[in-house]
Chain A
Amino acid sequence: MSAAPSLEIGKITLPFGEAFRIAMEDIRRRFIRMMITAASVILAVGFMDALLVLTAVGSAMGGQAASLKPFQLWILFISLLVCVVGIMNSMLIAVAERTREIGTWKCLGALDRHVLLLFLIEAMLIGLVGGIAGWFIGIITGLIYSFQPNVGIAGVTEALTSPSVIALPGLSFLPSIVSMLLLSLLIAISLSMIGTLYPAYRAAKLNPAEALRYEV
């Protein structure tokens, strides 16, 4: 080889819209499994919201802002941790199962970050669903447990709709129930993303030859 010619390298892209659509298809196809993954988010967020409702109703009766006791915070932290571990576990399985598919993606031109993007979009969607469902279930559960004859519907309504009982920094004008939704979504999506990051990173880093050889 005398001369050293070079390729005219063009662009490689995966537009977000396309990635999103493919991630949706993946979720649809593996719906039941995805819902089981989402269940761990739902349980963790539901637990958090139930605790919040209980404290909110309690403190509305006492007339102060709600705050969790240290041991409640500790239990909450553990439950969130369990949730992340659960998600990581199921995402590791999902990645292993799709190893050959990832190898194929790379043969078609996917970059590492495209593989990462696909998994993270799926994680985000799981977090979204888990967050909303967890919020709903958490509030219902919290209400059932906090219901006492002396509280009454009016007291509970007051606790959930007044802006000050549970407030997010900078968003203290929102009714508590909306603040709880935002908090739930934030936590659910973060948990799901954190749990997915390591498996997705491993998937993205795979050498295509090895990925294609992989037997399930």
Chain B
Amino acid sequence: MKYEYTVETEDLAKYYTMGPAIVKALDGIDLRVRRGEYLSVMGPSGSGKTTLFNMIGGLDRPTRGRVYIDEVDIAKLDAYELAWLRCRKIGYIFQTFNLIPVLTAIENVMLPMIFAGVPREERIKKATELLQRVGLGDRLYHKPGELSGGQQQRVAIARALANDPAIILADEPTANLDMKTGLEIIGVMRELNQEKGVTVITATHDLKMIDVSDRIVYLRDGKVERIETRREIAIETEEI
């Protein structure tokens, strides 16, 4: 049987020209991510993690190469289709949480559903469920400024899941959190990954991520240095 890949990149490259110099932020990345996989991208600062995240997430156009999401070449999508892809297929989680400051937790989670045209009743029901799922059932009407970093990141996770995306892209989701909170966030992401079968791709410096990842991609200077498979560990934990 053929594997089904949620994300596939082919010779993906992104160069930035800074005056006379060319920065090769990504330089020929070939990556295949299976449906339901939890993939960590590690690498030193400047190795291209965020750039890769932007390319896969349809947030920027590559200099060369292709990105396929569910076998669709996203370079062929127009602005409207890309917005739809970002809204429905991908959930984003950021290092800085990036909640909309003027909206409450539940409104933040409902926002992607507004864009997707989900009726109001259903939006409220689903957003409430998601926030309860990430442990914030008692913080529905708090604004981001009234929540701790860890709580804000939980809201962001709930928001990322609002439209049942195929992929969650998380760029250093634990970098602004303390050790314990970071572990909790990683735990929630891993649980949701297994519960909902959503593919998780996360860029990280955080060694705590290694334990939960199915595979770890090491980037260096825009290239894949090596890939470590942790399938043995993943299968073990599933059996327990």
Contacts and interface: CB of A to CB of B under 8 A. Distances in A.
Interface of A: 1, 3-7, 9-15, 18, 22, 25-26, 28-29, 100-101, 103-112, 114, 207-210, 212-213
Contacts of B98: 100-101, 103-104, 107, 212
A110 B115 contact: yes
Contact of A12 (B68, B96, B116): B116
Interface in B83-108: 83-90, 92, 94, 96, 98-103
A168 to B, nearest CB: 37
Interface in B73-90: 73, 77, 79-81, 83-90
Q: SS class of chain B's interface: helix, strand, loop or mixed? A: mixed
Contacts of B71: 1, 3, 5
B159 interface: yes
Contacts of A14: 114-115
A204 to B, nearest CB: 11
Contact of B86 (A29, A100, A106): A106
B102 A26 contact: yes
B68 A7 contact: no
Please classify how large the interface on chain B is, using the bins under 10, 10 to 19, 20 to 34, 35 or more.
35 or more
A100 B86 CA distance: 16
Interface of B: 8, 50, 54, 57, 59-60, 68, 70-73, 77, 79-81, 83-90, 92, 94, 96, 98-103, 111-112, 114-117, 159
A107 B71 CA distance: 20
Contact of B68 (A1, A104, A212): A1
B59 A109 contact: no
28 contacts: A1-B8, A1-B68, A1-B73, A4-B73, A7-B72, A9-B81, A9-B84, A11-B117, A12-B80, A12-B87, A12-B116, A13-B117, A22-B100, A26-B102, A29-B102, A104-B98, A104-B99, A106-B86, A107-B92, A108-B111, A109-B83, A109-B86, A109-B88, A111-B80, A112-B79, A207-B59, A208-B54, A212-B94
